[in-house]
């Protein structure tokens, strides 16, 4: 169960989110491949999950009553790896092995090799169905843990996503929350140019979901939305989290070209400098 955020805890979480962004940049430049915009944009949400919302234990990753976090858009997994390392699932130094041969940290999450991952993902559009299956199993076993799916807006252009949405609404799967990373970009451009999704909120509501919207780059706003989601008992919940792709790095923000490429060394140096400035801003704002 999420708790209200004190100013001190909020400051701690905001600084962790910046650290996660720094780790993402370092991982990507070391790997020489990977996705930049999505992981940076979702750092605040994964910080909120791993350090405030989820019931989990890095020392006991298979804890039976843990909350389940299902990552559908597996290409943003660097943000999850960074959050998991900071939380204590594995050494931070291991992040530098991203995408390397025999690494546990593949470019898409591989559950069989890294404790703490619930599913293996890669092909978009599957994660919500997987989360629904886990949620149904939890109901059959009378378990009280929460199931969270993280999905991309782009994968809502796929029919299997909407089959899952329809199924969950019909069966009133009320232990499920789907968090949509509504960053408006995909590899070929802006979602509303490639295949428009709006009105997204109304579509979910038509399938009998309770829909919340929030600023996904505002940790307090996302925690508040997750808190409301836990109080909804009659239907599944969708949180449309509006994020800025590349958040925290000015030259990456809102540029779809950064969807699937890493920074080079010079770009990484500039990005890390901007993130240090953001750290200082957060500290001064909470003084």
- As for how many domains the chain has, the answer is 1
Helix boundaries (H) for the chain: 7-31, 37-41, 43-48, 77-87, 127-140, 159-170, 191-194, 200-206, 219-230, 265-285
Residue 1 maps to a domain: no
- Report the DSSP beta bridge partners of residue 210: 237
CATH of residue 169? 3.40.50.970
Residue 172 maps to a domain: yes
pTM confidence score: 0.97
Contacts of 281 by beta carbon, 8 Å cutoff, 6+ apart: none
Residue 2 maps to a domain: no
Among 219, 240, 232, 82, smallest CA distance to 169 is for 232
Q: 79: domain range?
A: 7-113+121-285
Residue 152 maps to a domain: yes
Residue 90 maps to a domain: yes
| pLDDT, averaged in runs of 10, over the chain (287 residues) | 81 98 98 97 98 98 97 98 98 98 96 96 93 98 97 97 98 98 96 97 98 98 97 97 98 95 97 97 91
CA distance 273 to 277: 6
Residue 41 maps to a domain: yes
Residue 174 maps to a domain: yes
Residue 249 maps to a domain: yes
């Amino acid at each position: 169960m999420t708790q209200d955020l004190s100013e001190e805890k909020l400051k701690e979480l905001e600084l962790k989110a910046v650290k996660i962004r720094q780790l993402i940049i370092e991982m990507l430049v070391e790997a020489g491949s990977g996705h930049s915009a999505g992981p940076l944009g979702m750092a605040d949400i994964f910080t909120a999950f791993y350090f405030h919302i989820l019931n989990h234990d890095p020392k006991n990753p298979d804890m039976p009553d843990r909350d389940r976090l299902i990552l559908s858009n597996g290409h943003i997994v660097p943000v999850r790896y960074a959050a998991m390392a900071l939380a204590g699932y594995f050494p931070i130094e291991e992040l530098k092995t991203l995408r390397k041969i025999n690494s546990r940290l593949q470019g898409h999450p591989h559950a069989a090799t890294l404790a703490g991952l619930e599913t293996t993902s890669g092909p978009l559009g599957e994660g919500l169905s997987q989360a629904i299956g886990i949620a149904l199993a939890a109901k059959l076993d009378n378990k009280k843990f929460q199931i969270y799916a993280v999905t991309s807006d782009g994968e809502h252009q796929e029919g299997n996503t909407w089959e899952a949405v329809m199924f969950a609404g019909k069966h009133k799967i009320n232990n499920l929350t789907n968090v949509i990373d509504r960053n408006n970009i995909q590899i070929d451009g802006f979602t509303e140019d490639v295949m428009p999704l709006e009105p997204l909120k109304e579509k979910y509501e038509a399938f009998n979901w309770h829909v919340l919207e929030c600023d996904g780059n505002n940790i307090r706003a996302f925690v508040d939305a997750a808190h409301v989601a836990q109080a909804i008992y009659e239907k599944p919940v969708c949180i449309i989290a509006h994020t800025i792709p590349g958040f925290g790095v000015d030259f990456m923000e809102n540029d779809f070209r950064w969807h699937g490429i890493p920074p080079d060394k010079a770009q990484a140096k500039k990005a890390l400098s901007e993130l240090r400035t953001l750290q200082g801003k957060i500290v001064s704002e909470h003084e």
